[in-house]
Amino acid sequence: MPGANLTRIEAEERAGIVLKPIHYTVALDLTVGAKNFGSTSTIEFDATPGAATFLDLIADEVSAITLNGQALDPATAYADSRIELPNLAEHNTVTVTALCRYSNTGEGLHRSVDPSDGNVYLYSQFEVPDARRVYAVFDQPDLKATFDFSVLAASSWIVTSNMPVKSVTATDRTTAEGTLGDHEAETAKQWTFETTPTMSSYLTAICAGPYAEWHTAYRNEDGRVVPMAQYCRQSLADAFAKDVDYLFDITKKGFAFYDKTWGVPYPYAKFDQIYVPEYNAGAMENIGMVTIRDSYVFDSKVTDALAERRVVTVLHELAHMWFGDYVTMKWWNDLWLNESFAEFTSTLATAEATEWHDAWATFCSGEKSWALRQDQLSTTHPIVAPINDLNDTYVNFDGITYAKGASVLKQLAFYVGRDKFFQGINAYLNKHAYSNATLADLLGELEATSGRDLKAWSAQWLEQSGINTITTQVKTAADGTIEQLSLKQTAPIEHPVLRSHRLAVGFYNEDPATGRIVRTDRFELDVDGETTVVAEAAGKARPLLILVNDDDLTYTKLRFDDESLKFAIENLHRFDDALARAVIWLALWDMTRDGELAATEFVDTTLRLLATETESTTFRYALACMSTAAWHYTAPLARASVIEHVAAELWKLASAAPAGSDQQFQLATAYLGYGEEGDEAFTANAKGLLDGSVKLDGLDIDNNFTWTLVNALASVNVFGEADIDAQLAKRDTTENREFAYGARAVRGTADAKAWAWDQALNNDELTNSQLEAVARGFAATPRADLAEPYAERYFATVDWIWEHKTFHMAEALLEGLYPGYADPAALVELGNEWLASHETADNALQRIIRSNVESSQRTLKVRDFNAAL
């Protein structure tokens, strides 16, 4: 892969040579054209005299390097994305002048042209280490520094960075051809920003373009007034204007919650949120200026699940201002210190400071299910993961680092006590302000405030991989009372550690007044070792359902006793509490994935749940998991009838759902994923919704839902390329181009798959988002005959992709193009052959391939289980 990889050993060696304080003066010239921009950086730093080190830089051209007044020849000093700095003095100044390249991959400085108005938008994305794509830098988190940024940009543009603007000066410089897309050239302005506080390079940021803007302010707990701003593309301004006040309000609630909870006021000079196009992640915690994907600007109806996710994302990035920005991990092995804390505390803030009070049910169904899935792969890793190099870091932005870590922190706060937990966090933040910290630093502060020895806890939960299973065992007397309730804990062979859990056991029975299933008793206890007896349960009447891990306090797989399981399958939809439903549903899904519960039984349970479920994220994941069970896990001979049954039930449920409701919207959308060529009823419904001859009262056929219908009709070959082009011509926008690429790729023909395969691999003009849309469409058509020709081709192409694409694009291709509807036995055989012949391949690459292959292994195992029933 192009660009230098940085190992942990190299980073440690460099940190031993480069001494603080470090200061950067970075000048960017955004007026030189559509392909490149100018970059000049001056770095002042101390060092071990006589030692040598290197700067990181990925550039098309380096024209000048000066070290301590001496010119270095770029032809010899710059190689392999590094600038060698020999014979350092005690005090050093190095200046590097370069021509860097805009990306269309969301890495470095991304350039996007909005086809709806021709406007050009730029934004930076530097995590993990992509500041080096914009300026010369010691690009590792522990070499914190202060930064002075200045930017030369078109006069009509807005430029934002981490700090407030110090000055804006008119110049006589004119933008070069192509800089502004099809717009005419114009004069430029020089934007200069105030000096940053001490910070890591991956958190620096620059955004530029004719963004629409809104402003307000927040009065901080320390009395300071913090300016706040929100930005988005001009073409989205009308839609965004409807939500700006709400998003400002959510952010202010987050400020107040974190200030109160941690006892540390917001530490930076301003707080901007800029919604940007074609973004790879959900958002990024750049100090003082968070970038957020602008699919969170809602121009069409979205699920309540996505609306809530936007709130969690806003609060997640705000939490990073303390965890990750104010105090930063020393090396990427402690990435979880950033992400797990932000995920845990943003869910806590969402549940307690906003209207989304069921946020922990959302976390269970969405984030925790992600963790359980990844924790059962051979590629799982400890929460504190071993990170040997940057490539290891890329693949650790995963369900373990985010969701498992957050779940474990939820348990830790419960274990040590909430007040003591946050007292420890206060001490940690104050002690390590503007510097770097490690896991040991955090545990030391939590031990000091809680009085607990957390070394054993850390060894079990943070430093060991894998997930335990807790099984309920019940002995019931003849009179219906419980003689003994015990919990049996087991661990997988690969990770044989039994953990200590603080959890609750809930008893659930029918409320005679409402017919709903409600909690009637609850016990808290510590579970440790193989068997734990719930002493308080003895002598009590056996309930209809015994729920271990009530309130979802610990992280574990669950297995019910036989009577509770039978009751859960038949009555899940009757449970009153959203979190209880989410915990039970996740356990049933886990049993289905493990080949312990019939896929058809899970499907029918889910359909009953969907008739009454109101928690949007549980609803969303139930639909997604039911789809996996129906298309992949059912017995091959039964699959067609199961698909027909699910489609019919979804249409019936959508027709009966409240008009305009979230449930109706999700059900109709899900139904459109069950089309098969030749299904006249499906075609009639989809075409009818599009042309208005079929109506579901309250269902708005807006822009995005129109494209959902187009995609569905393309997948069954009712719509062809001309129909897709005609739809795009009605409204040519950034988003609709992505929809159109996906619709072309999802068409159910061999020619469409060949086109999509070629486009994804060879069309370098595709943006990251367009490439992902093509890859999704390629793999989404549920026909083995279209997928199987690509099984061998996929594994034959892996090495080429890894060598020729940036990391993100390689990951998108290797995950998106995997032909998962091909015969799983063939995919497993081919995948194992590839892995056996690539034992020395990059660990990150092996992990991606192993995850794909093991998904097929699971499909094969569970399909065979269901076929044998």
pLDDT at 246: 98
Residue type present at position 347: T
* Tokens of residue 796, six digits: 């034959």
User: Checking DSSP bridges between strand 469-476 and strand 557-559, what pairing results, if any?
Assistant: parallel
For the chain, what's the residue count?
A: 869
- Is the Cα torsion angle 55, 57, 61, 63 positive or negative in sign? negative
* Tokens of residue 24, six digits: 């950067």
Strands (E), 491-583: 501-510, 517-527, 531-533, 545-548, 557-559
Q: Which CATH class is domain 469-554+556-569?
A: mainly beta
Q: How far apart are CA 843 and CA 381, in angstroms?
A: 12
Q: Same CATH fold, 469-554+556-569 and 328-461?
A: no
pLDDT at 221: 84
Tell me which CATH homologous superfamily contains domain 328-461.
Answer: Neutral Protease Domain 2 (1.10.390.10)
Nearest-CA neighbor of 843 among 387, 519, 482, 502? 387
Q: Which CATH class is domain 1-209?
A: mainly beta
Q: Is the peptide bond before 642 cis (omega within 30 degrees of 0)?
A: no
Across the beta sheet with 53-56, the strand order is 53-56, 82-85, 78-79
Q: How far apart are CA 556 and CA 553, in angstroms?
A: 10
Report the largest interatomic distance among the alpha carbons of the chain, rounded to a whole angstrom: 93
The residues with which 841 forms a beta bridge, in sequence order, are none
Residues whose CB is less than 8 angstroms from the CB of residue 187 and which lie 6 or more positions away in sequence, other chains included: 154, 155, 170, 171, 172, 173, 174, 175
Q: Which of 107, 285, 317, 772 is catalytic?
A: 317
pLDDT at 4: 66
pLDDT at 2: 36
Q: Which value, in Å, is the radius of gyration of the alpha carbons in the chain?
A: 28
Q: What is the dihedral of CA 535, 536, 542, 548, to 10 degrees?
A: -80
Residue 746 phi, psi dihedral angles, 5° rounding: -80, -10
669 contacts 708 by C-beta, under 8 angstroms: yes
pTM of the model: 0.96
Nearest-CA neighbor of 414 among 549, 567, 324? 549
Token look-up 């941690």 returns 262
Residues whose CB is less than 8 angstroms from the CB of residue 10 and which lie 6 or more positions away in sequence, other chains included: none
Residue type present at position 232: C
Q: Helix/strand/coil (H, E, C) string of 395-463?
A: CCCCCHHHHHHHHHHHHHHHHHCHHHHHHHHHHHHHHCCCEEECHHHHHHHHHHHHCCCCHHHHHHHCC
590 contacts 610 by C-beta, under 8 angstroms: no
Across the beta sheet with 557-559, the strand order is 531-533, 482-490, 469-476, 557-559
Question: Residue 547 gets which letter from DSSP?
Answer: E
User: Checking DSSP bridges between strand 271-276 and strand 225-232, what pairing results, if any?
Assistant: parallel
Residues whose CB is less than 8 angstroms from the CB of residue 533 and which lie 6 or more positions away in sequence, other chains included: 484, 485, 486, 487
Residues whose CB is less than 8 angstroms from the CB of residue 565 and which lie 6 or more positions away in sequence, other chains included: none
* Residue 868: CB atoms within 10 Å: 8
Q: How far apart are CA 91 and CA 517, in angstroms?
A: 71
Q: How far apart are CA 154 and CA 180, in angstroms?
A: 8
342 contacts 389 by C-beta, under 8 angstroms: no
Question: Residue 167 gets which letter from DSSP?
Answer: E
For the chain, the structural domain boundaries read 1-209, 211-322, 328-461, 469-554+556-569, 598-701, 782-869
- Determine whether 524 is an active site residue: no
Q: How far apart are CA 630 and CA 625, in angstroms?
A: 9
Nearest-CA neighbor of 412 among 376, 374, 439, 377? 439
303 contacts 287 by C-beta, under 8 angstroms: no
Q: How far apart are CA 328 and CA 318, in angstroms?
A: 14
Give the H or E element holding residue 643: helix 639-656
Give the H or E element holding residue 758: helix 750-762
Q: How far apart are CA 147 and CA 205, in angstroms?
A: 11
* Tokens of residue 330, six digits: 């020393």
Which stretches of the chain drop beneath a pLDDT of 50? 1-3
Q: Domain 211-322 carries which CATH code?
A: 1.10.390.10
